[in-house]
Amino acid sequence: MVDLLIKNGLILTMDESLSIIKGSIAVEDGKIRKVGKNFGGQAEEVLDAEGKIVMPGLVLPHCHFQNVLQGLEREEDISPPGWSPFEEFLTREEISTATTFSCACLLSSGVTFAVNILSLKAISSGLLDEVFTKEEEMGMKGLIAVEIWDDEEVDGSKALREEEKLLRKNDSKRIEPLISVRAYSSDEILDCVRDLLAERENLRLSVRISKTPAEYYYCRSKTGESPLQRLHRQGLIDGRTVLTHFTYRVEEEDLKIIRRSEAKIVHTPLDYVYTHTFPAVKSVDEMGIKGSVGMDHPFDLFEILRMIYLHQRAIGEHISASRLLQMVTKEAAELYGIRDIGSIEVGKSADLLIVNLPPLRDESIYEHLLWSLTGQRVETVISSGRILKREGKPCWDELKVNREFARMMSLLRRKIRHGVAGS
């Protein structure tokens, strides 16, 4: 007897050959035990996916959960381009509440694995433990890091110490540590990051290249090199490196360096509002550089995919819907060396979505998904065999999560209006 059986669904495996199967998935001990047309055994629980699509949980390879608050910054007109005043004064409780709300938004819309990078000018002791706890309570899987940087206003040593503590004490099976750094950081910070990577073979590095033109030119004026050239000279561009916010002043020679070094890119198309440049998703992909799609805010990932698809068509290029979906499933996981999620294959973790979207012909199903799917159509969400959302209803206390978030937003609004944000 297996723990869970999903039957009668149109299964988009997102495996290497993009197999599509009309049939069943058997789950035992959180793993996929059988995928096929027939399953003759018994199951403790059966979900009927007749007339629906079953696909892997989405993988979001870059996000800042605290940025769920940035709508308030724009409402109060306190958010300069590329920089969040909330980096300076958010409390531990506020970040904790934002983490829970972000997990709820992402899980409900089909993201079962997310990379969460805390980007804060001040890191309070114990904050990471709190964020870890909240993500695990919600059922989220993923990677977490404190973004490390220093400049005239920020001392990166405290963030570095918190990251070192995180690496030493982490024993979570669902949330694992990541190193995250900004490309313009000092040589001292980059030296420490390199040492941490040398000590831990499986550790991955996420690098913010230049979210805004100001960051790009700050790096050039400070070091005499572009952000990517500097990282390359420092020996920090290799197969463990994932580059984010890499849209401004991307030169062909930069891409050649990335390809030779086997580094990866997470495209962040919403940077357009700062750079007036859209990531070259198609051309990067054609060069053989492994890439995915991320976002700073916990939005609906399907909306971001549609934006990329339409932009590529507008400039006379075409990237297929199936390719884009690969970039937020199996290939997104593989950017960070994670092999047991992102596709529906025997032996992999049972991270699955049942989508309430009537299937069309097999040859048009990916286009159909891209154009029609939103987070609201994600009916059931399963993580390691555990049902987190069932037939449209989240298994967490949705009313409590929303109420706590609304209360926190009200308190933050008062803080802003009384000048705390600028103090």
Do 357 and 266 fall into the same domain? no
Q: Is residue 283 part of a domain?
A: yes
Do 267 and 286 fall into the same domain? yes
Q: Report which of 186, 231, 179, 229 is spatially closest to residue 201, judged by C-alpha positions.
A: 179
State the pLDDT confidence band at 90, using cuts at 50, 70 and 90: confident
Higher-confidence residue of 413 and 10: namely 10
Do 144 and 199 fall into the same domain? yes
Cβ contact 242:204 at 8 Å? yes
Give residue 106's pLDDT.
97
Could you read off the pLDDT of 210-254 as tens digits, one per residue?
999 999 999 999 999 999 999 999 999 999 999 999 999 999 999
Average pLDDT rounded to a whole number, residues 79-101? 77
Question: Which element (helix H / strand E) includes 71?
Answer: helix 70-76
Higher-confidence residue of 334 and 73: namely 334
Tokens in use for 401?
């999560």
Q: Is residue 109 part of a domain?
A: yes
Do 91 and 222 fall into the same domain? yes
Per the structure, the count of domains in the chain is 2
User: Strands 378-383 and 386-390, how do they pair?
Assistant: antiparallel
Q: Is residue 220 part of a domain?
A: yes
Do 66 and 52 fall into the same domain? no
Domain extent for 383: 2-56+345-391
Q: What pTM did the predictor assign?
A: 0.94
Lowest mean pLDDT among 11-25, 120-134, 242-256, 271-285: 120-134
Cβ contact 144:179 at 8 Å? no
Cβ contact 42:1 at 8 Å? yes
Domain harbouring 6, CATH code: 2.30.40.10
Cβ contact 75:372 at 8 Å? no
> Is the pLDDT score of 349 beyond 60?
yes
Q: Is residue 305 part of a domain?
A: no
Q: Could you write out the DSSP letters of every residue in 247-270?
A: -TT--HHHHHHHHHHT-EEEE-GG
Do 119 and 38 fall into the same domain? no
Domain harbouring 136, CATH code: 3.20.20.140
Q: Is residue 157 part of a domain?
A: yes
Which amino acid is located at 82 in the chain?
G
Do 70 and 219 fall into the same domain? yes
**Counting Cβ atoms within 10 Å, is residue 9 exposed (0-12), middle (13-18) or buried (19+)?**
buried
Could you read off the pLDDT of 19-40 as tens digits, one per residue?
999 999 999 999 999 999 877 7
Do 211 and 136 fall into the same domain? yes
Do 84 and 44 fall into the same domain? no
Higher-confidence residue of 127 and 44: namely 44
User: Strands 264-267 and 291-293, how do they pair?
Assistant: parallel
Question: Which residue bears the tokens 């049942």?
Answer: 354
At how many degrees (to 10) do helices 127-138 and 157-169 cross? 50
Greatest Cα pair distance in the chain: 67
3-state secondary structure of 8: strand
Do 148 and 257 fall into the same domain? yes
Q: Is residue 314 part of a domain?
A: no
The CA distance from 158 to 149, in Å, is 10
Give residue 271's pLDDT.
92
Question: Which residue bears the tokens 């570095």?
Answer: 160
